[in-house]
Amino acid sequence: MNEITLSKLVEKGFNNPRVLVLGDCMLDIYLDGECNRLAPDVAVPVLDVNAVQCCLGGAGNVITNLCNMGAKVSVVTMLGDDHSAQTIARDLRLQGIDTSNILFNPNCQTLTKTRLRRENQCLIRYDIGRVYHFTPDLLQKYLADVKKMLRHIDIIFLADYDKGNIPDELIQLLYQEQQKNPKIIAVDSKDYYRYNCLRPDLVKPNYEEACKILGHKPQNERVTQALEWSESLCIISKANWVALTLDKDGVILFKKEEEPKHYPVPALNEGNFSGAGDTFLTVLCLAYYNKLEEDIAIRLGIKAAQIGIHKSGTASCSCEELAQELSHKDDKVIVDLSSLGSVCDKLRADHKIVFTNGCFDIFHAGHAHYLSEAKSQGDILIVGINTDESIARLKGASRPINTLNERIEVLRALSAVDYIVPFGDELSDDPIPVLEKVKPHVFVKGEAYESEEMPEMGLLQILGTQLVFIPHVHQQSTTNIIQRVQENSSQLLKKIS
């Protein structure tokens, strides 16, 4: 799916699936103010509150994200019978949610988390309420309401924060109903053993949860450690996709009997990370419903979470915000060739366009020198990069060492590179289709190609493109690096994702 089509799909609300959310709704309260004095009576810091913000948390934040993304959301849940419960119900109604299936239990306190913040830094959090519990009558009504709602939905989203709203009887009901009329199921929980009978489509453990589930201790090299968990997490959860979130270290996607894939994320020094996992999983779920490729689905989830993190309250993202991010003009990556042609047509009148291409697998000093020299040949440098499948065809099944997403992130960080274009399919592994759209003023290759016959030579002559060969940095190549590692280590350099 090209970027334009993807942006339109997102902007239109992912085709507006009907989603039933089950789980623990909470109220998040943020008290923001200044702390410049001590209380005279007890000599403790005083926060002078100048702003109060209430947000839906837990399953409530999932609902907010789904609604903002265009889904038609239903909810069956239980709250206490107090002011916080009424605030949650009111906020849900403001989002167009039918609250007639919310049960109020006077014997419970609604889970409420209050954060005191100064300059967006949390000083302390205090909680009200510990767990929701059902009376026999409330449980029967709850199960009956869920069974009724299942007739009219496409997706079941289980937001289990271990606070009591997902009793065993509900899982048994869902298991029985799945045998008759299966739905897409997404699960966010601390215990994926409970749900494996449902064979969920998506689950989202975080690193700490995965360590606990597998009985492992946290390590410094979290990505390396987590990449070894693929088979275990797939067996435990029986899920189709296991998206393991590692906060600053990105996301790893596990699928049964497939190699895991690691997706890095841009570094963030600050932000409000509460609810970011909810935002990620809701968008991933909607992408899955629309049968988007896994790389696109994960990328959308990461982008949405990044948008949410920059907000002052609990993280959330709308389809309009995500569509705008996808169409952002400063994005270096262009996957749609028609879009590439339009960009280059506009640039060509006032800029000298330079094009080069390569695998850029293990990035090294030779690559850095080469791209810097390529950029010096003109004003705009467009880099074609071979897809993972293309590299495997060209260099063998053990390559690439780094995935396309990882290689793109390295190129994206270089100031010399203006645009990045992935290319290569089962029909052709040369950049001719890209060159036809770019029509560069200068085509750059390494000096090793000077004595070789290149398939793109005929097109370059037709376009009137200048061909420039750049000297290589001695002994700098991915192949040489792999050989040096293997010669100096008993461990082979393995493909990691």
Which of 73, 81, 74, 194 shows the shortest CA–CA distance to 138?
81
Rounded to an integer, what distance in angstroms lies between the CA atom of residue 206 and that of residue 187? 12
Domain count, the chain: 2
Model confidence band, residue 496 (pLDDT cutoffs 50, 70, 90): very low
Q: Is the domain of 350 the same as that of 318?
A: no
Whether 30 is in a domain gets the answer yes
Q: Is the domain of 348 the same as that of 301?
A: no
Residue 47 has pLDDT above 50, yes or no: yes
Beta bridge partners of 400: none
Q: Is the domain of 425 the same as that of 309?
A: no
Q: Is the domain of 258 the same as that of 399?
A: no
Q: Is the domain of 148 the same as that of 58?
A: yes
Q: Identify the domain boundary among 296, 326, 356.
A: 326
Cα 472 to chain center, whole Å? 37
**CATH number for 177:** 3.40.1190.20
Whether 16 is in a domain gets the answer yes
Please report the pLDDT score of residue 197 as a whole number.
Answer: 98
Residue 404 has pLDDT above 60, yes or no: yes
Instruction: For 75-109, write each residue's pLDDT tens digit.
Output: 999 999 999 999 999 999 999 999 999 999 999 99
Whether 355 is in a domain gets the answer yes
Instruction: For 338-388, write each residue's pLDDT tens digit.
Output: 778 888 988 888 899 999 999 999 898 889 999 999 999 999 999 999 999
Q: Is the domain of 295 the same as that of 191?
A: yes
- Domain that residue 213 falls in: 3-326
Residue 490 has pLDDT above 70, yes or no: no
User: Taking the alpha carbons of 211, 216, 222, 224 in that order, is the dihedral positive or negative?
Assistant: negative
Please report the pLDDT score of residue 160 as a whole number.
Answer: 97
Residue 367 DSSP code = H
Q: Is the domain of 295 the same as that of 351?
A: no
Catalytic hit among 278, 361, 388, 418: 278
Q: What angle do CA 231, 277, 227 make, to 5 degrees?
A: 25
Q: Identify the domain boundary among 268, 302, 326.
A: 326
**Residue appearing with tokens 């920059």:** 310
Average pLDDT for residues 468-490, to the nearest whole number?
Answer: 66
Rounded to an integer, what distance in angstroms lies between the CA atom of residue 395 and that of residue 429? 11
Residue 243 has pLDDT above 90, yes or no: yes
Model confidence band, residue 309 (pLDDT cutoffs 50, 70, 90): confident
Q: Is the domain of 92 the same as that of 154?
A: yes
Q: What is the widest separation between alpha-carbon atoms in the chain?
A: 86
Residue 460 has pLDDT above 90, yes or no: yes
Whether 348 is in a domain gets the answer yes
Please report the pLDDT score of residue 454 as a whole number.
Answer: 92
Q: Identify the domain boundary among 297, 326, 355.
A: 326
pLDDT over 70, % of the chain: 92
Rounded to an integer, what distance in angstroms lies between the CA atom of residue 402 and that of residue 124? 41
Say which residue, 252 or 491, is predicted with more confidence: 252
**CATH number for 377:** 3.40.50.620
Q: Is the domain of 346 the same as that of 320?
A: no
Q: Is the domain of 196 the same as that of 279?
A: yes
Rounded to an integer, what distance in angstroms lies between the CA atom of residue 140 and that of residue 146? 10
Whether 493 is in a domain gets the answer no
Whether 373 is in a domain gets the answer yes
Average pLDDT, the chain: 91
Active site residue 379: no
